[in-house]
Amino acid sequence: MTLPKGFGTQAKTQKKRTFEEWWTTVPGDLKTKARKGDEANKVILNQVNYVLLHLHLQGKHDTKPSHEELKDWLHSGQVDTMRAAPPKK
């Protein structure tokens, strides 16, 4: 059985990267497009998805994070799922 291109390319024994470790591997122009105007805030999942889609379309499957890494980033708070509204006064 042949797996789809890019599936399972990261070794299962590979250490999980932090979001920041992975983010440094993303091309600068793609980071700028994903974060434009929102650089002062924590990265949100939509911005990560934007980068993942573009990496996929460019065929850069080895640079995408693993499922375990994405799950860790969300559960540990390294990436927010949405931008929370500031508390009302």
**pLDDT tens digits for range 49-81:** 999 999 999 999 989 999 999 999 999 999 999
Q: Tell me which of 86 and 56 has the higher pLDDT.
A: 56
pLDDT tens for 6-17 read: 555 554 556 899
45/43 Cα distance (integer angstroms) = 7
Q: What is the pLDDT of residue 19?
A: 97
Evaluate if residue 82 carries a pLDDT over 70: yes
Domain boundaries defined on the chain = 29-75
Closest CA to 62 of 13, 20, 19, 26: 26
pTM of the predicted structure, to 2 decimals: 0.75
> What is the arithmetic mean of pLDDT over 31-60?
94
